[in-house]
């Protein structure tokens, strides 16, 4: 496995990294899944500042502080919903990873952790999502010194096994 990439199974809200990424929705005001867990763990200061951000388009990313989280920053990105709209889902998901990594570089985040964006409520096929995530992170790392380390955090067993297989190749 590429030494700057790490695979973890567990809850992203517990990680003491410079930045965690949130799989948000365009309102940026919270929701279920990992978004709900992050807002709950970060505390009410997060939604207060999110109200001022004016939402976020699919494929884009915005950054806030981590509030009560062990992570210093939260990078909120909005993944595509699989199977609706103009169907540029693959490119939009790739953009989520690139834009999140770019925020990490600008804010000098040496460590960043990603959840499996869009693979829950948004129903993006897990294997395809993982291959896009790994490709984009590898490409970015080969061109940038910061972040130094990227963690993929899988919550469910299926995603964990998919990432294990793809990263071992």
Applying CB under 6 A, which of residues 7, 121, 166, 167 lies at the interface with ligand AR6? 121
Applying CB under 6 A, which of residues 64, 95, 111, 118 lies at the interface with ligand AR6? 118
Report in angstroms how near the CB of residue 115 gets to ligand AR6 at its nearest: 4
Residue number with CB closer to ligand AR6 (143 or 149): 149
Report in angstroms how near the CB of residue 145 gets to ligand AR6 at its nearest: 26
Report in angstroms how near the CB of residue 98 gets to ligand AR6 at its nearest: 16
Kindly list the catalytic residues.
35
3-state SS track over the chain: CCCCEEEEECCHHHCCCCEEEEEECCCCCCCCHHHHHHHHHHCHHHHHHHCCCCCCCCCCEEEEECCCCCCCEEEEEECCCCCCCCCCHHHHHHHHHHHHHHHHHHCCCCEEEECCCCCCCCCCCHHHHHHHHHHHHHHHHHHCCCCCEEEEEECCHHHHHHHHHHHHC
Answer yes or no whether residue 79 interacts with ligand AR6 by CB under 6 A. yes
Answer yes or no whether residue 97 interacts with ligand AR6 by CB under 6 A. no
Within 5-64, which residues bind ligand AR6 (CB under 6 A)? 11-13, 23-25, 31-35, 37
Answer yes or no whether residue 66 interacts with ligand AR6 by CB under 6 A. no
Distances (CA, A) of 142 to 20, 82, 131: 21, 29, 17
Answer yes or no whether residue 115 interacts with ligand AR6 by CB under 6 A. yes
Report in angstroms how near the CB of residue 149 gets to ligand AR6 at its nearest: 17
Contact 90, 136 (CB under 8 A): no
Q: Which residues of the shown chain bind ligand AR6 in the complex (CB under 6 A)?
A: 11-13, 23-25, 31-35, 37, 79, 115-122, 153, 155-156, 159
């Amino acid at each position: 496995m590429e030494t700057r990439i790490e695979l973890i199974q567990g809850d992203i809200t517990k990680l003491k990294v410079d930045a965690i990424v949130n799989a948000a929705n365009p309102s940026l005001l919270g929701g279920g899944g990992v978004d709900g867990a992050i807002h709950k763990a970060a505390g009410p200061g997060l939604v207060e500042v999110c109200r001022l951000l004016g939402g976020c388009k699919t494929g884009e990313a915005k950054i806030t502080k981590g509030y009560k989280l062990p992570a210093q920053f939260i990078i909120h990105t909005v993944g595509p919903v699989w199977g609706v709209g103009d169907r540029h889902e693959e490119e939009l998901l790739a953009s989520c990873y690139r834009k999140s990594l770019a925020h990490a570089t600008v804010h000098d985040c040496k460590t960043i952790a990603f959840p499996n964006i869009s693979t829950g409520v948004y129903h993006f096929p897990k294997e395809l999502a993982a291959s896009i995530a790994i490709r984009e992170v590898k490409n970015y790392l080969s061109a940038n010194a910061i972040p130094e380390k990227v963690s993929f955090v899988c919550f469910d067993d299926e995603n964990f096994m998919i990432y294990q297989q793809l990263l071992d190749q």
